[in-house]
C-alpha cells in the first residue's frame, strides 16, 4: 500500500488514499446507474464530433431552468483534462492556485475519473452527492492484528481499516441490488434497475454530455 499510494506519507496516507479511491468508485458507479436509468439526463449521444467546451455544458444544463447556474463541477477523463491544460491555458487553474483543493477550468471544479471514457463527461452541482461517514455500534474502525509466527518467525502485524459510509446521488431512490446479490456493490450501483427518479428533472443535479476529445 505504501508504494502504491504515498511512500513518504506511510501507512496513514496510504489508507486515506485507498478509501478515497473506494468512495470515488462507488460515486461514479452510482452516476453510471442513474445515467442508464434516466436517458433524458444525457443531452446527446455518442459519437459527437463537437469538441469539449462551455457551449456543451450550457446545452446540458439549460433544462435545469432556475438551477442551471448552480452547476459548478465537471467530471472529466485524464485525456480531456490534458486537452484543457494545453488548449485553455487562460481558463485552467491548478489546485495549488485555487484555495479549494481542486483544479478548475472556466470556474468549474474538476474531478478526474476514467469511468465515463474520453468522450463522455458529467457536470454537477455542489452537494449533488449526499456523503457521510460514521461508526455503527459494534464496528471497530481501526485495529492491528498481531501474528506472532508471521514474517518467517519474526512476527507480523495485519492492519484492519473499516469505513461505514453513506453515498447517494440526490434526486433518486435506490431500489436495491439487482444481481448477483442485494448488496450495494459497484456492479449493482451501476445498473439501471437499481435507481428510480424521485424528483422532476429540473431538480436533478447531474447532466451527462458526449463530446470529441481528439479534435477541436
What cell does 81 get?
483534462
Please compute the mean of the pLDDT values over residues 16-43 and round it to a whole number: 92
Residue 181 has pLDDT above 70, yes or no: no
What cell does 72 get?
459548478
Residue 4 has pLDDT above 60, yes or no: no
pTM reported for the whole predicted model: 0.83
pLDDT at 7 (0 to 100): 52
Please compute the mean of the pLDDT values over residues 203-207 and round it to a whole number: 97
Looking only at Cα atoms, what is the longest distance across the chain? 67
Report which of 136, 156, 131 is spatially closest to residue 26, judged by C-alpha positions: 131
Residue 154 has pLDDT above 90, yes or no: no
CA 115 from chain centre, in angstroms, equals 8
Residue 126 has pLDDT above 80, yes or no: yes
Residue corresponding to grid cell 448488496: 183
Residue 83 CB: number of other CB atoms within 10 A? 21
What cell does 176 get?
436495491
pLDDT at 202 (0 to 100): 95
Segment among 52-56, 168-172, 210-214 with least mean pLDDT: 210-214
Residue 14 has pLDDT above 80, yes or no: no
Contacts of 200 (CB under 8 A, 6+ apart): none
CA distance 74 to 122: 6
Segment among 33-37, 180-184, 195-199, 208-212 with least mean pLDDT: 180-184
Gyration radius from the chain CA atoms: 20
Q: How far does the chain reach from its first CA to its final CA, in angstroms?
A: 40
Task: Specify whether the CB–CB gap between 33 and 192 falls below 8 A.
Answer: yes
Residues comprising the chain, all counted: 216
CA distance 215 to 200: 35
Q: What percent of the chain has pLDDT over 90?
A: 50
Interval 56-112: pLDDT, tens: 999 999 999 999 999 999 999 999 999 988 877 778 888 888 877 789 999 999 999
- What are the C-alpha distances in Å from 141 to residues 20, 132, 159, 160? 15, 15, 11, 8
* Positive or negative: CA dihedral 22, 14, 130, 182: positive
pLDDT at 177 (0 to 100): 64
Residue 215 has pLDDT above 70, yes or no: no
Interval 98-117: pLDDT, tens: 877 789 999 999 999 999 99
CA distance 174 to 191: 11
Amino acid at each position: 500500500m505504501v508504494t502504491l499510494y504515498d511512500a513518504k506519507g506511510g501507512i496513514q496516507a496510504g489508507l486515506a488514499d485507498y478509501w478515497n479511491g473506494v468512495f470515488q468508485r462507488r460515486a461514479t458507479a452510482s452516476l453510471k446507474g442513474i445515467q442508464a436509468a434516466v436517458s433524458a439526463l444525457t443531452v446527446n449521444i455518442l459519437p459527437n464530433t463537437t469538441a469539449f467546451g462551455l457551449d456543451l455544458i450550457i446545452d446540458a444544463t439549460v433544462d435545469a431552468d432556475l438551477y442551471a447556474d448552480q452547476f459548478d463541477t465537471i467530471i472529466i477523463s485524464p485525456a480531456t483534462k490534458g486537452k484543457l491544460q494545453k488548449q485553455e491555458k487562460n481558463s485552467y487553474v491548478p489546485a495549488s492556485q485555487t484555495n479549494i483543493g481542486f483544479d478548475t477550468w472556466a470556474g468549474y471544479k474538476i474531478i478526474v475519473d476514467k469511468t465515463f471514457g474520453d468522450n463522455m463527461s458529467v457536470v454537477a452541482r455542489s452537494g449533488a452527492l449526499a456523503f457521510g461517514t460514521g461508526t455503527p455500534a459494534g464496528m471497530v474502525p481501526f485495529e492491528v492484528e498481531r501474528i506472532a509466527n508471521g514474517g518467517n518467525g519474526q512476527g507480523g502485524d495485519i492492519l484492519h481499516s473499516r469505513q461505514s459510509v453513506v453515498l447517494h446521488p440526490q434526486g433518486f431512490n435506490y431500489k436495491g441490488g439487482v444481481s448477483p446479490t442485494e448488496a450495494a456493490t459497484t456492479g449493482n450501483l451501476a445498473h439501471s434497475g437499481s435507481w428510480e427518479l424521485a424528483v422532476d428533472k429540473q431538480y436533478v443535479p447531474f447532466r451527462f454530455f458526449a463530446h470529441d476529445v481528439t479534435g477541436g
